[in-house]
Structure 1
Amino acid sequence: MAQDRIDAQGSSTVSCSSPLVDAQFIPRQYEPNYAYPLLVLLHARGGDEDQLVKAMPALSWRNYVGLGLRGPTPVMKRERLSGYSWGADFELPDRSGFRVRPRLSEAESVRRSLFDSEADPIDRLEEGVFTGIRQTRSLLHVHSERIFLVGCGEGAAVAYRLGLSFPDKFAGVVAINGWLPGGFRPLGRLRACRDFPVLVVHGAWNSRVPLSRARRDVSTLRAGGLRVAFQSYPCNHRLSSGMLADVDTWLMNHCTNQPAV
């Protein structure tokens, strides 16, 4: 592990003014005249907005601004709060019993948008993510074409859904020990997603999400023409230094291949 990963110290701030509670990682020796890549950090089930922010120094203490977001659904264990999740739409199919949300007719979708007071959970999630990004960009200098979604576990399912739904808004997706969400057509915007970059890193000993599932998801995306890099590691469902080193390398390679803004 490089010395900067050992010695790195990060800083974060928390804001409750957006629809999703968030925390920011500010690089050491932050330079306001430099347009930083932004990593939108989406935690695993049972985590919170700080879970991946705390891992940022081990990724790089100087290369990125980080925006950690908290899932909207509390996770309770033995009647105590044990973290947060991203909701039933992103659960492992085995956990959710292969639940698929019923497809609404166009008329019903219009009726709900006009008369139902409670917004759709996916709409609220999208609003929260984009609001968090806008607020971060108003405070810190972020490169508009270098906004990446980085998700771990259940957060990777969120990253997949957002990235493949809005490929024009994001520079790529990093999926760590995750899965494609159920009830979602990952290639629904096939033409827009062609050449969309994705990095999948997965623990070979992951008993929660078997390596075979990750390989299947990679095959699905590659069949649609997406540029998917894939690597497995001798670890379980937790982050490893090797994973983080490869994520950093992949991100920087994509950043340096883009023109400055």
Structure 2
Amino acid sequence: MKKIHKKLNNIEYIVVEPAYIKPDMMYPVIFLLHGYGSNMSDLANICEHIDSNEYIYVCPNAPLEIDIGFGNKGYSWFDIDTEYKSLEDNYSNLINELIFSLDKEYCIDRKKMILGGFSQGAMVTYEFGIMQTNYFSGLLAMSGKLINKEIFNQDEKINLDKKIFISHGVYDNVISVNEGREANKILKGIGFKVEYKEYPITHEISLDVISDIKKWIEKILIQ
């Protein structure tokens, strides 16, 4: 696979593409959003373990730069120290622009796109992905939580055709496994098809998680 560093306006991102692009193939796209204090390289490193030939992956830096100590910087999708507000407006333009940019460079299949994230990236995946009716056929939430449960009490139409995969570590000491269980219960309760799995791990992505993600993605994107 090839990792290509790009920049769109003020956002840096990595595109992970197959070593050889087939000119007659429409590629599904998988967006992966990193966790709080991390960066675009984090989840870009797991792409080859999911599949190295069938998909194009997009791993952006979050827009907020933060100090993570010892002179190092990381990125955040939203400020965790301030009152939470809806993220949909914040990231609608970013995702739109990334898709438009990809469309100019690659032959992408807009009907086969997945949005996924880890930790804070999973929170954004829930918040943004659930309310979007036109973008994603699947949502992937690793070790995250629902941060705006009120959205399900609104009258806005929710596309229940999206498939959702939730993974969570039983020993997660950052975001309790109870958050994963609650998300699973709520989303299934309103009609989503959710695949929920727990693992004997902490706040991390294990090889078993990646293996299950790979199988789930294949069911959605390779038909």
> TM-score, normalised on structure 1?
0.78
1:211-247 superposed Cα distances (whole Å, 9 cap, x missing partner): 1111011111111111111011121111111111111
Query: 2:9 aligns to what?
Result: 18
The alpha carbon displacement at 1:54 in A equals 1.5
> Which consecutive residues of structure 1, in runs of 5 or more, have no partner in the other structure?
1-9, 104-120
Structure 1 position 184, deviation (Å): 5.3
* C-alpha distance in 1 between matches for 2:102 and 2:88: 21
- 1:113 is aligned to none
1:180 and 2:120 correspond: no
Q: How does 1:169-248 map to 2 (within 5 A)?
A: 169-182=135-148, 185-186=151-152, 188=154, 191-248=157-214
Query: Bigger shift: 199-208 or 19-28?
Result: 19-28
Greater C-alpha Rg: 1
Q: How many residues align?
A: 223
User: Once the two structures are superposed, what CA deviation does each residue of 1:154-181 show, in whole Å capped at 9, x if it has no partner?
Assistant: 0011111121121321111000111112
1:169-218 superposed Cα distances (whole Å, 9 cap, x missing partner): 11110001111124751464664322321110111211111111110111
Shift in alpha-carbon separation, 1:188–1:173, aligned structure 2, 3 A: farther
Q: What is the TM-score normalised by the length of structure 2?
A: 0.91
**One of 42, 48, 57 as aligned partner of 1:57:** 48
Question: Is the 8 Å Cα contact of residues 202 and 233 (structure 1) preserved in structure 2?
Answer: yes
From 63, 87, 90, the equivalent of 2:78 is 87
Cα distance in 2 for residues equivalent to 1:27 and 1:58:
12
Q: Distance in 2 between matches of 1:82 and 1:189?
A: 40
Q: Percent identity?
A: 19
AA in 1 matched with 2:163: P
Retained in 2: the 8 A contact 1:163–1:170? yes
2:221 is aligned to 255
Which consecutive unaligned segments of at least 5 residues does structure 2 have? none
Change in Cα spacing, 1:138 to 1:76, as seen in structure 2 (3 Å) is same
Shift of 1:30: 2.3
Q: C-alpha root-mean-square deviation of aligned residues, in Å?
A: 2.2
